[in-house]
Structure 1
Amino acid sequence: MSEILLTIHCAAADTECLVDAIRSVTRAPVHVRAEIVHGRDFADAKTAEQVTATLKRSAIELVEGAQALDDILQAVDGAKRRSPVRWYQTPVTARGRFS
């Protein structure tokens, strides 16, 4: 089974509802990281963010089997959120755990 690292970028205010939606369809550990995006891509920015050119976002990450991605993305798409969501997937070629 091939594994995928799924990364979802969302508005900080939408993080909890998206995590809940993801957890409803997978048991994989979900990692959340607060991010500040500096840039000029205002497609997803609110007015205040456009003025400062600083977007407060979250990155939600999890590793899951490739066959589960459609269910996870459908849950994210169907979640009650306020802002658009961007996502990408990266093949996992190796991983492990040190104790």
Structure 2
Amino acid sequence: MEVIRDHHTATILTNGNVLVTGGSHNGATQNSTELYDSSTEIWITTGSMNNARQNHQAVLLKDGKVLVTGGSNVGKALHTAELYDPSTELWTTVDKMNNIQGGLEISPLTNG
């Protein structure tokens, strides 16, 4: 990885690449994201999230997009959520969660 980080997520995409999001580097919460290209074994920087976050959750959806939710930034819990589209490498802010969640886990449902 180009940025040393902890408290991040790593999600395996449908093409076998790995998306690493957010986390903390030297005590600073990150909005940066990186892709590990499994065919070339090279890390590349991809689009940054709209919100810096650590201790968040990420899940791969049926359509190949990645949903990232919650977490914290500078000790403040977040109720924001974002969608990453691997085809465009862009992040889109989606509706906020009804409640601020810390220490959450998410899973895809059978209907996507």
Question: TM-score w.r.t. structure 1 length?
Answer: 0.32
Greater C-alpha Rg? 1
Q: Which gives a bigger RCO, structure 1 or 2 (Cα 8 Å, sep 6+)? A: 1
The structure with the largest helix share of the pair is 1
